[in-house]
Homo-oligomer: A and B are copies of this chain.
Amino acid sequence: MNRRRSAVLLIHCPDRQGLVVAVTGFIQEHRGNIVHLDEVVDGDSGTFFMRVEWELEGFTIPPERIAETFQTAVAAKLAMVWSLYFSEDVPRMAIFVSHLPHCLYDLLARRQAGEWRVDIPLIVGNHPDLEDVARRFGIDFYCFPVDAGNKSRQEAAELELLERNRIDFIVLARYMQILSGGFVARYPNRIINIHHSFLPAFPGARPYHSAYERGVKIIGATSHYVSAQLDEGPIIAQDVIHLSHKDQVADLIRKGRDLEKTVLARAVWHHLQRRILVFGNRTVVFD
């Protein structure tokens, strides 16, 4: 029985004539039925982006040979950078947390309620505060307290744990700890963070306090892939909420919390759906 029912190709390359025909022709030639196709050309950089999803039922190339065949038949000659996913593969996600539970609860509830097809084998905390939440949902919790002296040792242990559990990507659910460049390099564009401001406004610590000080009328939240530079990775999703002059810092924190949950979940959903293409420091999000 073939559990892999559809395949997704994410592609980017320099724009030129005939790219859409090349890809769709390949799928059609092998009897795939295209269910979604999104294509866009970034005019300024002259780059072509494409996401195509087709049903595997009746497709004449077996799943395990599609990558190789596509590379030889299409991608190589067109300088395409591409990745291939199968809808039936269930990604394995780790969650990193500190003290604040709201994003963690939201992620776990979505998994539990069946909104998302994802496995969550483990939760990592740099404090033990949320172990109780993990237990409530029956998920293993590992505590790695980090200080100036033990950071590289702890990160090494975390990496070992992640690998042993074959983790595909990591979600930082208000994890208040900066990951080293070396750690980040191991999961390129596979660590999703939620920052509690409308980036690039108010990067760094305590953005709600800074927003209050500046007297802004709107606050935001930003989910992004983590890169070597703090709060500067490719942005996946953003949203905002209006304030009034009555709102004190505590109100910003309260209103912001709901935003953080929603914006982080939106990013994770698009990642799970293989709808995000990273190009330079920008994302193409097909939705």
Cβ–Cβ < 8 Å partners of A73 in chain B: none
Cβ–Cβ < 8 Å partners of A284 in chain B: 245
Q: Are the C-beta atoms of A257 and B115 separated by less than 8 Å?
A: yes
Cβ–Cβ < 8 Å partners of A283 in chain B: 215, 245
Give the interface residue-count category, chain A.
Answer: 35 or more
Contact check: which of B18, B35, B237, B286 meets A28 at CB < 8 Å? B18
Cα of A212 to Cα of B21 in the assembled complex, Å = 29
Known contacts A41-B36, A115-B254, A283-B245: does B220 contact A218 (CB below 8 Å)?
Answer: yes
Cβ–Cβ < 8 Å partners of A31 in chain B: 17
Cβ–Cβ < 8 Å partners of A234 in chain B: 215
Q: Chain B's nearest CB lies how many Å from the CB of A227?
A: 12
Of the 9-residue stretches A100-108, A156-164, A183-191, which lies at the interface with chain B? A100-108
Of the 9-residue stretches A61-69, A82-90, A198-206, which lies at the interface with chain B? A198-206
Binding site for B on A (CB under 8 A): 17-18, 20-21, 24-25, 28, 31, 33-44, 49, 101-102, 105-106, 109-110, 112-113, 115, 133, 136-137, 198-202, 212, 214-218, 220, 234-240, 242, 244-246, 248-249, 254, 257-258, 262, 265, 281-287
Q: What 8 pairs between A and B have smallest CB-CB spacing?
A: A215-B282, A105-B109, A201-B201, A245-B284, A217-B238, A101-B113, A218-B238, A21-B24
